[in-house]
A = this chain, B = another copy of it.
């Protein structure tokens, strides 16, 4: 009898689970279940459709329906998994037509993702208040812009908040971002680095209010603005970007345990404490590779890797996911911002004493025209001299520097080792002394 694999969720983690399982076991009966109309589209691309860089939402569909058919993946869209019985190994689903069904599984993968967190603010239910998590969310915001919205307030200065804010400015709106914490990008950057990004965004016309709490949304049926930090701010639309939370309702109701991070508990096989049940992506807890503490990483790249791990294992293989380093990057206007590993703040929180080295440099040789700025903050553990993180803000070539440091962290490279690294140079492409190496040398001087 074929191995019956059910995957709940058909975004990055779910689809990559399915693909990996299919690759491992050509005969397995693989079913993907999603509430959404579409499976396998890129959520990360949504702000860039709103911004106009990508022509249409449908362009974000990475895996069209035909692809699922080709791989004999049984995709059930607009279908809700309402219950899991881990003893009988069944999943209860309700299809669009309202029909209820019990599906039998041998292996179950929970890829239920995350949802946009909505605080209980007065007025949050008003028309004109949006989140940006699904394609439908994106279409609603796009529609509001097309219908003439001229001003927007973004609640929250995390990645999604700022990406959406930039997109709306690119569409001609006046945008105000309100952040409760005293800095933007609090989950990604240290305050000193975040200040630089804030300045760049402000120069491009984004109004940013930090350290201000939204206490109320104003308006009758339709939102007219927010009250934040004692100020009444007017806006045609309000975007809720307070962050996302792991979608664990179904798991909890089915007795599948959550971990400290509030994500579904998993081991290195991405299996939950319940045998034959895996959890992957934004709903799953994993281990931080550096601190070895539980974490809910909630990044696309981590979702696909976890998905692949669970898919292989569910299909009878044996592979491990060894923890998240947490590499992330974004582009806001023309500036690229990246991070990997720990920030100075998260290191302190984890009780790790660090030494940092910050350099201001350029992306080409000093004398080469059109070199773009590059700022690097490298972070090393004081005791071991190991590199534990980096934050980079620059005009180009940020992503792969993040990846280089991520590899260094993975292999426990020390600062003296990085200072001796063999790097590539050509005047139109880099400086003779790679700025990452200069940052390592700055730390070395502080060690002495």
A interface with B by C-beta (< 8 Å): 12, 42, 44-45, 48, 53-55, 59-60, 62, 289, 299-302, 304-305, 321-322, 324-331, 336, 338-340, 365-369, 396-404, 406-408, 410-413, 417-418, 420-430, 432-434, 436
A207 to chain B, nearest CB (A): 24
Residue with the highest number of chain B CB atoms closer than 10 Å, among A48, A367, A424: A424
Given contacts A408-B411, A429-B329, contact A367 B59 (CB under 8 A): yes
Which residues of B lie under 8 Å from residue A321 when comparing CB positions? 420
The listed residue (B54, B406, B423, B433) touching A423 by CB distance below 8 A is: B406
Contact of A432 among B300, B421, B425 (CB under 8 A): B300
Give the most central of A301, A328, A410, A430: most B CB within 10 Å: A301
Q: When the two chains form their complex, are residues B407 and A413 in contact, meaning their CB atoms are under 8 A apart?
A: yes
Instruction: Pick the contact of A331: B366, B403, B423, B426 (CB < 8 A).
Output: B426
List the 10 closest A-B pairs by CB distance, nearest first.
Answer: A400-B400, A411-B411, A404-B404, A325-B422, A327-B424, A329-B424, A402-B424, A59-B367, A331-B428, A45-B427
Residues of chain B contacted by A369 (CB below 8 angstroms) = 53-55
Docked pose: A90 CA to B448 CA in angstroms: 35
**CB-defined contacts of A408 to chain B, threshold 8 Å:** 407, 411
Sampled A-B contacts (23; CB under 8 Å):
A44-B365, A44-B425, A44-B426, A45-B367, A45-B427, A54-B367, A299-B425, A304-B433, A328-B425, A329-B429, A331-B426, A399-B400, A399-B425, A399-B430, A400-B404, A402-B424, A403-B436, A404-B404, A404-B407, A410-B421, A410-B422, A411-B412, A411-B413
Pick the residue among B62, B368, B401, B402 that contacts A367 (CB under 8 A): B62
Query: Measured between C-beta atoms, what is the minimum distance from A6 to chain B in Å?
Result: 24
Give, as a whole number of angstroms, the nearest-CB distance from A289 to chain B: 7
Contacts of A331 in B (CB 8 A): 426, 428-429
CB-based contact B54/A422 at 8 Å = no
Alpha-carbon distance between A238 and B82 when the two chains are bound, in angstroms: 77
A422 touches B400 (CB 8 A): no
Cβ-defined contact, B403 with A424, below 8 A: yes
Residues of B within 8 A of A411 (CB): 407-408, 411-413, 417
Cβ–Cβ < 8 Å partners of A434 in chain B? 301, 403
Q: Is the CB of B421 within 8 A of A328?
A: no
Give A391 Cβ to nearest chain B Cβ, in Å: 12
A41's nearest neighbour on chain B, judged by CB, is: B367
Residue among A53, A324, A336, A402 with the most chain B CB within 10 A? A402
Distance in Å: Cβ of A44 to nearest Cβ of chain B: 5
Cβ-defined contact, B53 with A424, below 8 A: no
Cβ of A300: which chain B residues have Cβ within 8 Å of it?
Answer: 425, 432
Q: Which residues of B contact A59 (CB under 8 A)?
A: 367
A355-B421 Cα distance, complex, nearest whole Å: 24
Q: Which residue of B lies closest to A163 (CB)?
A: B426
A426 proximity list for chain B (CB < 8 A): 44, 328-331, 399
Distance in Å: Cβ of A321 to nearest Cβ of chain B:
7
A48 to B54 Cα, complex, angstroms: 35
Residue among A42, A401, A421 having the largest count of chain B Cβ atoms under 10 Å: A421
Task: Give complex CA distance A45, B367 in Å.
Answer: 9
Residues of B within 8 A of A340 (CB): 422, 424
Q: A327 to B400, Cβ gap below 8 A?
A: no
Q: Are A403 and B427 in contact (CB under 8 A)?
A: no
Q: Is the CB of A423 within 8 A of B301?
A: yes
Given A329-B429, A429-B331, are A45 and B368 neighbors across the interface (CB < 8 Å)?
A: yes
**Are B422 and A324 in touch, CB under 8 angstroms?**
yes
Inter-subunit contact B425/A329 (CB<8 Å)? yes
What is the CB-to-nearest-CB distance from A74 to chain B, in angstroms, rounded to a whole number?
23
Q: Are B428 and A304 in contact (CB under 8 A)?
A: no
Q: How far is the CB of A406 from chain B (nearest CB, A)?
A: 5
Name the CB-closest residue of B to A402.
B424
Q: Is the CB of B404 within 8 A of A424?
A: no
What separation, in Å, do the CA atoms of A424 and B404 have in the docked complex?
10
Q: How far is the CA of A289 from the CA of B400 in the complex (A)?
A: 23
Q: Which listed residue, B54, B322, B403, B418, touches A400 by the CB 8 Å rule?
A: B403
Q: Which residues of B contact A304 (CB under 8 A)?
A: 432-433
A355 to chain B, nearest CB (A): 20
